[in-house]
A and B are shown apart, each in its own frame.
Chain A
């Protein structure tokens, strides 16, 4: 057995309910600011051409928002990185509109809705916005999507010996799908991972599989958020990073196995 896949964390981007960016989230996780769970605010980034800005659906705004936060925080050109996009579902509003049209007497769906329905829509818009031509892995593992994305990104960094930008994000469905998939709001986190330590790295993580139970958050409202949105399963790790607390964090992953993340501050 070789060493578990590992990487250095160069920077973080984050958007969620009542959390406009990573510094705001870090302050909440450290207990330095009170969490006001207001509805997640999403904007289409200026890097998109006007046509794509108009067509961008919620998950696209979310994914591009967190990714650009991470690359801006690191002061790097976003076009230079391989990416891993991991999401538990596509854009809920777009999906609902297509299903509604297909169940009606006129089944002609709009071309834009169709191309926005692919799970890799956010990855496609990311390429158009940033000019990134490197590989992009686009994943789904339902509630395990953050863990699956982290494993893929760490394996990429370890095997390719190149930086990788992980973007994990989820947005809510409208009714009637919301009753079947009750994700309450949009939440996304981006981690820019590098194979070597850089001057401003905020620690190193290594991941392996474990049978241990997942860590919870001491604040019950935040722990409810962790359980409600798949990408927010990252919060115990983000809490450790915010406080530079070295140690083992166990994250929710698949039903039969969790992810042990060893964090060295």
Chain B
């Protein structure tokens, strides 16, 4: 594929607001996870909660979108000058030539969960202030961002569980290639809610401590929340030497099981192969693999087999979910931003939380400072949905 320019990017997670605390935590191998004290949740698990999310207020004209997920979206948009970059793109290309492609798994469903506690005793009706379209509906995130900027182009939410905000890069790249738009605001936002906390608990997929991806003693995920955004455009000529590029994407489906990965990592391998092929690269061109690495026994085992099969044991890799938690529909976006930082600043982030990694991989336990030219980032999800991205610098 023709590379696309990632001209601006930002991420907000439990590690802090914007790129600076994310970079600092990646360099230090620091985790932002803590024992879960979210809302009224009573579970033995850890979470990655973004501080200050509920302090954010939406503009009065957008009050219908008010929910934790859209507050987190706004908190993320105003970091690192990202919103200004979007406005610059709007004036350069036209508001109708910039598309919105955002990923989320649960959107603002927390509002519905809370509204169900306030149903009318006689009729069972939800409270009058409940707004389904602005909060709960999966599209609410993209609709909010569209209205927040006054964008006039195509807009969509990709909601394929934990691959959502990796797959938005693929959808945006196709839409740019088709000529319908010149630039795209991509990314993902997912926020803590009871559905995911109790849901993953019901599947016995949450750890009772901070998650330990790829550790031999790993025993489940820690759910996080996050907002990650990137502005993707056709490449300018000449390219700035410090440009960050989207070089390739690969997508596949496991066609195996709703909540377990294919045990041999078949779909993971297919997605990574497709991303390399689309980028015109081979396995040895990749300097670092940001693993999906959720820290469940079966996910990491399947991904490990796929990575070993394709890369052997020579390519440095780590999962950064020990630092951020698993931000679900935001994970692909958060980890694409980590990939961009690794290339920009020349480091391979340590996999926080892991002390005794599985054999057979060059699993990075202490941050390495070195030139990083190309990163492959994996995002796999429930329902057997897989996406791998390759980010890099100009050749």
Task: Give A83 Cβ to nearest chain B Cβ, in Å.
Answer: 8
Stretch at the interface among A34-42, A63-71, A149-157, A244-252: A149-157
Assuming the A-B contacts A114-B203, A128-B256, A135-B253, are A179 and B125 also in contact, with contact meaning beta carbons closer than 8 angstroms in the complex? yes
Question: Looking at A111, A132, A140, A159, which has the most chain B CB atoms within 10 Å of its CB?
Answer: A140
Chain A 120-151, CB within 8 Å of chain B: the 1/0 string? 11011101101111111111111011001001
Contacts of B257 in A (CB 8 A): 128
Is A73 engaged at the interface, CB distance under 8 Å to the other chain? no
Chain A 100-132, CB within 8 Å of chain B: the 1/0 string? 101100011111001111111101110110111
CB distance A136 to B385 under 8 Å? yes
Chain A 141-182, CB within 8 Å of chain B: the 1/0 string? 110110010011011101110000000000000011101110
Is A4 engaged at the interface, CB distance under 8 Å to the other chain? yes
Interface hits, B130-157 → A, CB 8 Å: 130-133, 137-140, 142-143, 146, 152-157
Closest to A122 in B: B383
Count, A-B residue pairs, CB within 8 A:
219
Interface hits, A90-107 → B, CB 8 Å: 90, 95, 98-100, 102-103, 107
CB distance A2 to B179 under 8 Å? yes
Is B241 engaged at the interface, CB distance under 8 Å to the other chain? no
Assuming the A-B contacts A4-B180, A108-B202, A137-B167, are A142 and B143 also in contact, with contact meaning beta carbons closer than 8 angstroms in the complex? yes
Is A30 engaged at the interface, CB distance under 8 Å to the other chain? no
Interface hits, B175-230 → A, CB 8 Å: 175, 177-180, 194-195, 198-200, 202-203
CB distance A130 to B255 under 8 Å? yes
Contacts of B158 in A (CB 8 A): 137-139
Is A203 engaged at the interface, CB distance under 8 Å to the other chain? no
How far is it, in angstroms, between the C-alpha of A204 and the C-alpha of B252 when the chains are bound? 27
How far is it, in angstroms, between the C-alpha of A25 and the C-alpha of B116 when the chains are bound? 38
Task: Give B72 Cβ to nearest chain A Cβ, in Å.
Answer: 18
How far is it, in angstroms, between the C-alpha of A215 and the C-alpha of B270 when the chains are bound? 42
Closest to B199 in A: A114
CB distance A141 to B385 under 8 Å? no
Assuming the A-B contacts A124-B258, A141-B156, A209-B154, are A135 and B382 also in contact, with contact meaning beta carbons closer than 8 angstroms in the complex? no
CB distance A176 to B138 under 8 Å? no
Task: Give B270 Cβ to nearest chain A Cβ, in Å.
Answer: 6
Is A212 engaged at the interface, CB distance under 8 Å to the other chain? no
Contacts of A257 in B (CB 8 A): 96, 152-154
Is A89 engaged at the interface, CB distance under 8 Å to the other chain? yes
Closest to B260 in A: A115
CB distance B159 to A140 under 8 Å? yes
Is B266 engaged at the interface, CB distance under 8 Å to the other chain? yes
* Residue from B140, B159, B384 in contact with A127 in the complex, judged by beta carbons closer than 8 Å: B384
Interface hits, B109-139 → A, CB 8 Å: 109, 112-113, 116-117, 119, 123-126, 130-133, 137-139
Task: Give B306 Cβ to nearest chain A Cβ, in Å.
Answer: 13
Contacts of B112 in A (CB 8 A): 95, 99, 177
CB distance B180 to A124 under 8 Å? no
CB distance B259 to A115 under 8 Å? yes
Task: Give A170 Cβ to nearest chain B Cβ, in Å.
Answer: 12
CB distance A121 to B258 under 8 Å? yes
How far is it, in angstroms, between the C-alpha of A180 and the C-alpha of B116 when the chains are bound? 13
Chain B 374-386, CB within 8 Å of chain A: the 1/0 string? 0000000111110
Is A221 engaged at the interface, CB distance under 8 Å to the other chain? no
* Residue from B124, B157, B170, B384 in contact with A140 in the complex, judged by beta carbons closer than 8 Å: B157
Assuming the A-B contacts A127-B253, A136-B160, are A141 and B139 also in contact, with contact meaning beta carbons closer than 8 angstroms in the complex? yes
Is B303 engaged at the interface, CB distance under 8 Å to the other chain? no
CB distance A148 to B203 under 8 Å? no
CB distance A5 to B382 under 8 Å? no
Is B53 engaged at the interface, CB distance under 8 Å to the other chain? no
Is B174 engaged at the interface, CB distance under 8 Å to the other chain? yes
Question: Looking at A1, A118, A134, A158, which has the most chain B CB atoms within 10 Å of its CB?
Answer: A118
Assuming the A-B contacts A88-B139, A135-B252, are A118 and B382 also in contact, with contact meaning beta carbons closer than 8 angstroms in the complex? yes
CB distance B258 to A159 under 8 Å? no
How far is it, in angstroms, between the C-alpha of A259 and the C-alpha of B15 when the chains are bound? 41
Closest to B143 in A: A142
How far is it, in angstroms, between the C-alpha of A11 and the C-alpha of B384 when the chains are bound? 27
* Residue from A98, A109, A118 in contact with B105 in the complex, judged by beta carbons closer than 8 Å: A118
How far is it, in angstroms, between the C-alpha of A19 and the C-alpha of B27 when the chains are bound? 59
Is A220 engaged at the interface, CB distance under 8 Å to the other chain? no
* Residue from B113, B130, B174 in contact with A155 in the complex, judged by beta carbons closer than 8 Å: B174
How far is it, in angstroms, between the C-alpha of A155 and the C-alpha of B203 when the chains are bound? 37
Closest to B95 in A: A256
Assuming the A-B contacts A155-B180, A175-B124, are A107 and B194 also in contact, with contact meaning beta carbons closer than 8 angstroms in the complex? yes
CB distance B199 to A99 under 8 Å? no
How far is it, in angstroms, between the C-alpha of A112 and the C-alpha of B158 when the chains are bound? 22
How far is it, in angstroms, between the C-alpha of A209 and the C-alpha of B133 when the chains are bound? 23
How far is it, in angstroms, between the C-alpha of A103 and the C-alpha of B251 when the chains are bound? 37
Closest to B161 in A: A118
How far is it, in angstroms, between the C-alpha of A180 and the C-alpha of B27 when the chains are bound? 47
Contacts of A145 in B (CB 8 A): 139
- Supply 14 A–B pairs (Cβ within 8 Å), ascending by A: A3-B179, A102-B198, A103-B113, A109-B198, A115-B258, A133-B253, A138-B160, A138-B385, A139-B159, A140-B139, A151-B180, A152-B171, A155-B174, A158-B178
Closest CB pairs A-B (n = 7): A124-B383, A114-B199, A2-B179, A135-B251, A127-B255, A119-B159, A103-B116
- What 12 new A-B contacts, CB under 8 Å, besides A133-B253, A155-B171, A175-B125? A2-B178, A3-B179, A99-B109, A120-B382, A123-B160, A127-B253, A133-B266, A136-B160, A145-B139, A176-B124, A177-B126, A254-B155
